[in-house]
Amino acid sequence: PKTDIVFLKVHKSASSTVMNILFRFGETHNLTFAFPQGGGFQLYYPHHFLARFVQGFSPRSPRRFNILCHHMRFLQPEVQKVVSSSAVYFSILRNPVQLMESSFVYYKGASAFSRVRSLEQFLRQPYRYYNPASGDRHYARNLMTFDFGFNPDGDVSPERVQLMLKAIEASFDFLLISEYFDESMVLLKELLCWDLDSVVSFPLNIRDSSTKSPLPDSVVEKLKAWNRLDWEIYTHFNRTFWARIDRDIGRERLRREVKALRERQAELARTCLQGTGSVGPKDIKDSSLRPLQHGGARILGYNLKQGLARELERT
C-alpha cells in the first residue's frame, strides 16, 4: 500500500470525507501527518502553501511527512519540501454549478454574498457585489481554480486554459469526481493498493436537503459562464477520470467493486449507527460527533449505537 500522499482538499467537494479516510488509514498504519502550525485546521489558507506552515518543519533539518491533506492553496515547490519525492498527489473535483450553490449557502458571510438574497440576484450583476481585490473573493468565483493555486479572475482564452490543465496534469497523479464518489473510492483503492475497508466511509459534512433547491436552467448557464475556469477543469478531468477507470479497472469490475463497497458500507451502518443514518445537528446526542455548523447550511451527523465492541467502536 502507498503511504506517502498529498491530497489537495478542495472546498465543498466531499473532501472532508476523503480526509477522514486518510486520517483513519494514517492512524491505522502509524503514519505521520503534516499538521498546520499553531493547531489550526487549515494550512494558512487562503495564502499559497509554504513549508513553514507545517508544524515541526525546519529548513535546517527538513523532515518528510507521510500525509499532507488539510485545506491549502497548492504550491508544489513548497509541498515538495515536506513530503517524499515518491508521494502520490491527488484531489477531488465537483461540478462547479453545485459547488457554487453550496459555497453560496455555506459562505453566506463572504463579502461577495453578504448583500444578496439569492444566487440569482448575485448573478444578475456579479460585479456589483464581487470585488476581485477582496481577500475572500475566491469563495464566490472559480473556487477550485483558486485552490489549485491559479488566479480565479484569470484569462479564459483556450491557450491559458490549456496551460492550466497541463500544469494540473503535471502535478497530480489523478483527480477524483465527487458526483461519482463510490467509483472514485474504487479508483483510489486501486491506485494506492489499499483494501476495501480502507476506503469505506459515511459521508461527512453533508448538508440537509431542506436548504437545497433546484436551479433554473438560465441560472445554471450563468454559473458555468461565471465559473468558466472551474468548468474547464471539471469537464476535462471528468473525461480523464473515466478514461482512467477504463484503462485500469474496466467497467465490469468497477460495477462489482462499487457494489461490494456499498454493501460493506450498509453493513457497517446497520451495525454501528442508530436509526437509518444521518441526523440533523440538534439530534446528535454525542457532542464530540457534532460537525461544525457554518453559514446558512444545516450540516448533518450521526449517532453511534451504544455498547459496541471496542474494536468496532474504534472503526
Confidence of residue 276 (pLDDT cuts 50, 70, 90): low
User: 55-73: per-residue pLDDT in tens?
Assistant: 999 999 788 999 999 999 9
Bridge partner residues of 48 (DSSP): 73
3-state helix/strand/coil string of the chain: CCCCEEEECCCCCCHHHHHHHHHHHHHHCCCCECCEHHHCCECCCCCECCHHHECCCCCCCCCCECEECCECECCHHHHCCCECCCCEEEEEECCHHHHHHHHHHHCCCCCCCCCCCCHHHHHHCHHHHCCCCCCCHHHHCCHHHHHCCCCCCCCCCHHHHHHHHHHHHHHCCEEEEHHHHHHHHHHHHHHHCCCHHHHCCCCCCCECHHHCCCCCHHHHHHHHHHCHHHHHHHHHHHHHHHHHHHHHCCHHHHHHHHHHHHHHHHHHHHHHECCCCCECHHHCCCHHHCCCCCCCCCECECCECCCCCHHHHHC
Mean pLDDT of 94-113: 94
pLDDT score at 86? 97
Mean pLDDT score, 12-23: 94
The pLDDT assigned to 269 comes to: 87
Task: Give the pLDDT mean for 116-136.
Answer: 96
**Statement: residue 132 has pLDDT above 90:** yes
pLDDT tens-digit series, residues 134-171: 999 999 999 999 999 999 999 999 999 999 999 999 99
Domains and CATH numbers, the chain: 5-312 (3.40.50)
**Range of weakest confidence among 12-16, 17-21, 108-112, 206-210:** 206-210
Average pLDDT across the chain, whole number: 93
State mean pLDDT over 18-46: 95
pLDDT, average across residues 224-253: 98
| From 133-137, 205-209, 219-223, the region with the lowest mean pLDDT | 205-209
Grid cell in block for residue 85: 519525492
- What pLDDT was estimated at residue 211? 65
Task: Return the pLDDT at 209.
Answer: 67
Of 106-110, 229-233, 291-295, minimum mean pLDDT range: 291-295
Q: Vertex 154, ends 148 and 156: CA angle to 5°?
A: 105
The arithmetic mean of pLDDT across residues 303-308, rounded, is 90
Q: How confident is the model at residue 82 (pLDDT cuts 50, 70, 90)?
A: very high
Q: Looking at the predicted structure, is the pLDDT value of residue 213 above 90?
A: no
Q: Average pLDDT in the 278-291 region?
A: 78
Task: Note whether 289 and 274 are within 8 A (CB).
Answer: no
Predicted local distance difference test score (pLDDT) of residue 210: 66
